[in-house]
Chain A
Amino acid sequence: MLQPELIQLLTASDLVDLRIDAIPKLQVGFRPGCFFSSSGSQDGEAKLTFIPQQILLNKDHELFEDGDIHRHLYLQNLSTCPAYDSPTARQCEFRCYISGCSQVFSTVEDYEHHYNTLHRHVCSSCQRSLPSARLLDIHIQEWHDSLFSILAERQDMVANIHAHKRTCTHTHYVAHSGLDLDQSMHTVFHSLSPRPKYQCLVEGCGSKFRTRDQRKDHMIKIHKYPSDFMFDKVKRIKNIKIAKKNMLQKGTSMEVSMSVSEPEGVCEVLSDQPEEEEYMEINHSLEPGILDPPSNPINTVELSTDHDTAPILSVTIQPTTNQQRPQHNRERHSYRVPRTVCFGQGSVQGFRGHGRRI
């Protein structure tokens, strides 16, 4: 029970000098110039306040309770019993200190597992927990970087218009930011505008892609990821049913309101899977029967340029910061191009007439 060193110390022979005043004293005090201030930081408030303090305990102090009880049990002839249950020392429990969490654990390992799973790589914007620092960075870039999302949406818009061009008979020049550019400027514009790059999620790969789908394909083909791997995150879908309902109702309409409950406008309306906390989601584009049969299964951002009959789905990408996104308005489809409306020379600018089905 007792450590050997202690036993040795206490049972030392008389020849050993046991006097305290014979023990060499360590030097007291801190190095001059060493910054040590127990009186606190610049704001003058004392943060570290500990000072050595001898403690006097009077007879009735609570620290003395157990001993007193033991004494009085002895006086009343009830003290000794070989198997009596006395309070034994407990090991301290551990607690998660993240505000709002307050879970308690009996071992350090349990606590550390909890912390690493739920609190370590947490996105401060959407409170999502990612498995690693790298995925956290990618997540922030792809979901919370406003520049990234502007560029992504512009690219969608570009792709949109390109798709539209194929079916429309008018001559088009892509209207970037409302400017009417001639063909050469248009080409220059395209070559200059940066494109968002979706990085491959596999560490060490380094490949970048223009679209999420391309990244996904890359990971499936090259890195042999399963096709149902959770490539993109799922929104915390609070009103997923409404979203589905909207989609079913609107059928071929252009307006697909993706109801989202999170600031980022992108929502993948999926099955009734519970919200995921990881960066990975199941890409339901390969699961048939969930959404409108005629339409392409909804992808998150990628607008397929290969399907002529596909309704062009718009994506609400709100380029502003989180606070500026009104929760109720999810339908700012400012960049969609309805099939029945054409821009370009000779086209009717704007809507004409009433009751025109859009």
Chain B
Amino acid sequence: MWRLNAVRHKAGRQGSDLEEFKFKRREHEKELRRARKDSQLVSKRLLLNDDEEEDGTMDTLASDQVLVWAFHFSSLSFPYVLRQPNSIAILVTNLCGPNPQCRLEAARCLHELSHSPHSEVDSLRLRQATPYLITFLSGQSPKFTELCLYTLGNMCPDSENVRDMLLAQGIIPALNNCIQIHRTNLAVVEAVGFTLSQLISANYVTGTIIPAVLASGLIPRLLSVLTPDSQFGLGPVIECAWCLHYLACSNVDNGALVAQGTLLHCTSLLVTLGVAVAKGSIEEGIELLIWPLLRCVGNLLLSGPLGALQPQLNDSRLLAALCAFPQAFLQTHPALARESIWVLNNLTDSSVFCSALFYLNLVPALIQLLPFSHGINIMVLRVLGNIAHQGREYCLHLAQAGLLPALCATLKMADTEVVTFSLEVLGQLMASDPQLAEEFVRQSGLPMLEAIQYSNQETIRLRATHLLEHHLPPHCTVRTLP
């Protein structure tokens, strides 16, 4: 996989180089977070030129072709070059010209322009090229097509006008064609995925783009990429998965997505990844794939009643995988652990899945996640609350799995939201069966409730008092505050 390979190479650096790299990465990460908060999170990709093909052809080039070379050699010369009259027109001419070499170079120039941060280089100038770029997507040359794709992909986030223009110029059918033609070429498939993801993830995506994508026939092609075939590499699968995530979270027509088999394919892939994780073969970068799949599945679960979706969710190993991911990624990517449990939350709205969790003995694994912050314990408490809400049998099973002592600990935690949820779950348990209330008292849980009554947080104070007044075994005498 060429892109991840490049990164692995960087990671091989030692000593101060590594420190500097880490420092830069941290700074960069902060910038990205800031950008995300401002809804400005945008990335562009630059295709690295692995194969240097320029060799001795300069002498035979005409003057405008020299211009092309000038672009290529130094991005610092961009502003100068762009000030030349008709610079883009020249590039376009070469793009469509008879010389394949020049075509390639012109495409590369346009690509580098699209990636350039220079303010003088903007999509306005590049608009002249887009109809051609789109047309060439249906061409046969993989390398050339790849360049065109990445150029278009880099232009997508620039503005709403650009996206409207691309849509009008037929980018979606072109992408569909492209992925069909080049379906065996992983680099091109990845490029298609990237471009599509840029198109649908940009801000202020107009109401027309996503319905157009849904209607275009692209979905089945994206899904066919989601095969567990390791030969295909992670890159293309990652891009397609992120496309599916952006489609699902826009919630335009998730029913259509499900009807085309999205839920089935995504859950199958998640199970495969879960199996891989269980076997210990965690590939580098695999979390980049797990993330969008989790999000896609999580959101698609709301597309209809769970009972109707069940045929697509019939593999019980999905539940095991959703419990395995937090265990495997807790220390490296706690946010991924949290999202995995979020999917469980959306699943446990149904008694079928709650029963399955007990049958497969997965609840202890969830309870073990309760000490962890980062939103993880809150999400776990939601899941446990969902389960308890199903009824008395479920509450008894929860208690058997060791929930009561765990709640005694979460009641002491600093996060008020954790305590609130703990009190809610505890309330369900105690109300469902007096035995559980007795058990709680035996676990020395009463002093906790009494202590919480003295808190200055009203939410937990009220709940604690309510539990003490209404759900304790009759022989317990406690002091409740008036």
Contact = CB atoms under 8 A, between A and B. Distances in A.
A111 B295 CA distance: 37
Interface string A21-52: 10111111111001111101100000111111
A19 interface: yes
A120 B432 contact: no
A92 B371 contact: yes
B359 A48 contact: no
Interface stretch (A71-79, A140-148, A174-182): A71-79
A10 B413 contact: no
A24 B357 CA distance: 11
Given A26-B351, A57-B298, A70-B288, A85 B328 contact: no
B36 A65 contact: yes
B182 interface: no
Contacts of A306: none
Interface stretch (A94-102, A209-217, A275-283, A314-322): A94-102
Contacts of B274: 10
B466 A47 contact: yes
B461 to A, nearest CB: 9
B455 A98 contact: yes
- The B contact surface, by secondary structure, is helix
Contacts of B376: 89
Contact of B299 (A30, A57, A93, A100): A57
Contact of B358 (A26, A38, A85): A26
Interface string A56-80: 1111100111111111111111111
A97 B345 contact: no
Interface in A217-259: none
B361 to A, nearest CB: 6
Contact residue range for chain B?
A: 35 or more
A119 B451 contact: yes
Given A9-B360, A119-B451, A65 B33 contact: yes
B33 A58 contact: no
Contacts of B365: 3, 5-6
Contacts of A51: 389
Nearest to A47: B466
Interface string B450-467: 011011110010110010
Contacts of B285: 74, 79-80
Given A21-B310, A71-B291, A63 B342 contact: yes
B284 interface: yes
Interface residues of A, number: 89
Contacts of B393: 26-28
Contacts of A28: 351, 390-391, 393-394
Interface in B213-252: 238, 242, 246, 249-251
B346 A55 contact: yes
A1 interface: yes
B470 interface: yes
A86 interface: yes
B178 interface: no
Nearest to B26: A85
B43 A76 contact: yes
A10 B393 CA distance: 26
Contacts of B43: 72, 75-76
Contact of A92 (B39, B251, B413, B463): B413
A87 B334 contact: yes
Nearest to A72: B43
B391 A30 contact: yes
Nearest to B323: A6
A69 B28 CA distance: 10
A91 to B, nearest CB: 5
B22 A40 contact: no
A188 interface: no
A86 B29 CA distance: 10
B317 A64 contact: no
Interface string B1-45: 001101110110000001001101110110011001001010111
A48 B467 CA distance: 9
B460 to A, nearest CB: 7
B10 A81 contact: yes
B8 A54 contact: no
- The A contact surface, by secondary structure, is loop
A41 B310 contact: no
Given A21-B310, A34-B432, A99-B455, A67 B339 contact: yes
A104 interface: yes
A79 B284 CA distance: 10
Contacts of B433: 31, 34
A26 B395 CA distance: 11
B278 A66 contact: no
Contacts of B278: 2, 6-7, 9-11
Interface in B386-404: 386, 389-394, 397
Contact of A27 (B374, B391, B418, B421): B391
A95 B394 CA distance: 30
B412 A111 contact: yes
A189 interface: no
B348 interface: yes
B469 interface: yes
Given A47-B463, A80-B11, A92-B377, A75 B45 contact: yes
B279 interface: yes
B466 A63 contact: no
B412 A87 contact: no
A20 B310 contact: yes
B455 A97 contact: yes
Contact of B349 (A54, A72, A93): A54
A57 B295 contact: yes
9 contacts: A11-B279, A19-B315, A20-B316, A26-B358, A52-B389, A53-B382, A55-B342, A78-B24, A111-B412
Interface of B: 3-4, 6-8, 10-11, 18, 21-22, 24-26, 28-29, 32-33, 36, 39, 41, 43-45, 201, 238, 242, 246, 249-251, 271, 274-275, 277-279, 284-285, 287-288, 291-292, 295, 298-299, 301-302, 310, 313-317, 320-321, 323-324, 327-328, 330-339, 342, 345-346, 348-349, 351-356, 358-362, 365, 371-377, 382, 385-386, 389-394, 397, 409-410, 412-415, 418-419, 421, 423-425, 427-428, 431-433, 447, 451-452, 454-457, 460, 462-463, 466, 469-470
A-B pairs, 5 with minimum CB distance: A66-B335, A95-B414, A47-B466, A97-B455, A10-B278
Given A25-B355, A85-B22, A120-B447, 12 more contacts: A2-B324, A6-B278, A10-B321, A23-B355, A26-B397, A41-B469, A58-B251, A67-B295, A80-B11, A93-B414, A99-B454, A99-B456
